[in-house]
Amino acid sequence: MKIGFVNFNERGLKPLADELKKHGQVVADIKASNIPKREDGFQVKSAMLTFESGQKIEIKIKANGSIFQVRLNGKVIPVKNSEDIGESSNLKKAVKEIAGRLKQNEPAYLKQQARRLKKVKTASPKASTSVAKQISEAKEALETLQENGKALDDDLASAKGNVEAKRSELESIRGELQQETQRGETLRAELESLAA
Q: Which of 94, 72, 74, 73 is nearest to 83 (CA)?
A: 94
* pLDDT at residue 85, rounded to an integer: 58
* pLDDT at residue 30, rounded to an integer: 92
Q: How far is Cα 19 from Cα 23, in angstroms, rounded to an integer?
A: 7
pLDDT band at 126; cut points 50, 70, 90: low
Domain ranges of the chain: 14-113, 125-193
* pLDDT at residue 155, rounded to an integer: 77
Q: How far is Cα 191 from Cα 43, in angstroms, rounded to an integer?
A: 38
* pLDDT at residue 94, rounded to an integer: 82
What average pLDDT does the segment 158-181 reach? 84
Q: Tell me the pLDDT tens digit for each residue of 42-88.
A: 899 999 999 988 899 999 988 887 888 899 999 998 888 666 555 55
What average pLDDT does the segment 93-108 reach? 88
